[in-house]
């Protein structure tokens, strides 16, 4: 019986280790990355429950409304950085532009929230 796992199918893939400790390094790096990815929702929940008593209802509502947007932008920036390694001036500029835009967007959202529009 043959099962097709699709993306996780590693038939024909050879992992080459050039030193004896690279296997250990791969195992530790993979487990730390996976552990961090799995615990991020819990960390965000703990952080928000810690902040909730100190925030007013309007401030907490603003934080909760901006949370999905910030997570999506973080993932988008991570994917953008992974797809474009900074090898030349153009790539470095293209990597810096989203950071500048996000910084300016944060300042703009700050002004809007302080005026009470949201």
CB 95 within 8 A of CB 81: yes
Query: For residue range 70-102, what is the model confidence (pLDDT) as tens digits?
Result: 888 888 887 877 776 656 777 778 878 888 898
DSSP letter, residue 8: G
- For tokens 């990355």, name the residue: 33
Residue ranges of the domains in the chain? 6-115
Can you tell me the distance from the alpha carbon of 52 to that of 61, in angstroms, rounded to the nearest whole number? 10
DSSP letter, residue 10: -
3-state class (DSSP) for residue 30: helix
Q: pTM score, two decimals? A: 0.51
> Which parts of the chain sit beneath pLDDT 70?
1-8, 84-87, 117-118
DSSP letter, residue 43: H
């Amino acid at each position: 019986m043959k099962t097709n796992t699709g993306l996780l199918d590693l038939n024909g893939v050879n992992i080459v280790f050039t030193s004896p400790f690279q296997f250990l390094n791969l195992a530790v790096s993979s487990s730390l990355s996976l552990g961090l990815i799995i615990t991020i929702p819990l960390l965000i929940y703990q952080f928000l429950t810690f902040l909730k008593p100190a925030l007013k209802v309007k401030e907490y509502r603003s934080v909760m409304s901006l949370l999905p947007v910030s997570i999506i932008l973080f993932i988008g920036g991570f994917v953008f950085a992974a797809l474009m390694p900074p090898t030349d001036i153009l790539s470095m500029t293209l990597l810096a532009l989203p950071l500048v835009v996000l910084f300016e967007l944060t300042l703009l959202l700050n002004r809007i929230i302080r005026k009470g529009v949201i």
